[in-house]
Each structure stands twice: as structure tokens, then as C-alpha cells.
Amino acid sequence: MAGVILDASALLAMLQGEPGADKVADAIDDSRMSTVNYAEVVSHYARLGAQQHAIEAMLRPLPIDLVSADPGLAVMAGMMRQQTGELGLSLGDRFCLALAQRDGLAAWTADKAWQGVADVLGLEVVLIR
């Protein structure tokens, strides 16, 4: 089983050479990501005008274990709204956190708003920068 759960912000940091990119690159061979968060990465590049074939060509070779958003994970992410509502987390954020909680792995993110979520949800959050 993979050792870390990547948030879209962590993968984008690596792809764009932002601070924390090296940390993500070092862990990518042992990473998992929800397909919801993967869609967030795709939508980021689509918003910038990239074509689908170019986005797929960039992402397909990455050794990330993609995890489908099954009903159980969806319920977990939805229920996290009660505990994280005041933190302003998106549905995508909660899918990443739900996957981390379900699999007992650390959630890696570049989003500093997640600093308070670890204690609230009882899981490990790693800020990549």
C-alpha cells in the first residue's frame, strides 16, 4: 500500500516547480490520490487552456495510485463537513482527507488552511511547504 495521500495542491506544486515540489517528487512513487483530487488537477490545467491530450500525456506517466470515489469514501467526505465547516475546506479537500483517514495514511497538501484539521479529524496532515 502507498505511503502518502496527495492533495491536488501538492501534486500541482510538484508539476509547477513550486516550493515543496522536491518533497512531493521524492514521495510520488509511494502515493495515492482520490480521483476527485485528480479531477481538480485536470481542471486546473483545463482552466489554463491546456488540451485534454496534453493534460493526459503529462499526468498518465505519474506513478500515483488513483483511488475511485466509491460510496463509502463519499459518505466519509460528506460527513467531514460537520467537523471542518468553519475551516473552509472544499469537497475535494474532504475527499483527500477521507482517503487518508480510511487508509490510515498522512494527507499531503500545500494548503495552509489544513493546519487545524489534523487534530479535528484525528489524522496526520503534512504541509509540503
| CATH number of the domain where residue 11 is located | 3.40.50.1010
Which residues on adjacent β-strands are paired with residue 33?
66
Query: What pLDDT was estimated at residue 32?
Result: 97
Domain that holds residue 116: 4-127
Query: What pLDDT was estimated at residue 119?
Result: 85
Query: What pLDDT was estimated at residue 2?
Result: 60
Query: What pLDDT was estimated at residue 96?
Result: 98
Q: Which residues contact 63 (CB under 8 A, 6 or more apart)?
A: 28, 29, 31
Query: What pLDDT was estimated at residue 104?
Result: 96
Query: What pLDDT was estimated at residue 26?
Result: 97
Query: What pLDDT was estimated at residue 38?
Result: 98
Query: What pLDDT was estimated at residue 87?
Result: 85
> DSSP string spanning 36-74?
HHHHHHHHHHHHTT--HHHHHHHHTTS-EEEE---HHHH
Number of domains in the chain: 1
pLDDT by residue, tens only, the chain of 129 residues:
569 999 999 999 999 999 999 999 999 999 999 999 999 999 999 999 999 999 999 999 999 999 999 999 999 999 999 988 788 899 999 999 999 999 999 999 999 889 888 888 999 999 999
The answer to whether 94 and 69 are in contact (CB under 8 A) is: no
12 to 19, 37, 72, 108, 128: CA distances (angstroms)? 11, 11, 26, 12, 11
Q: Given the C-alpha cell 513550486, which residue does it identify?
A: 18
pTM, two decimal places: 0.94
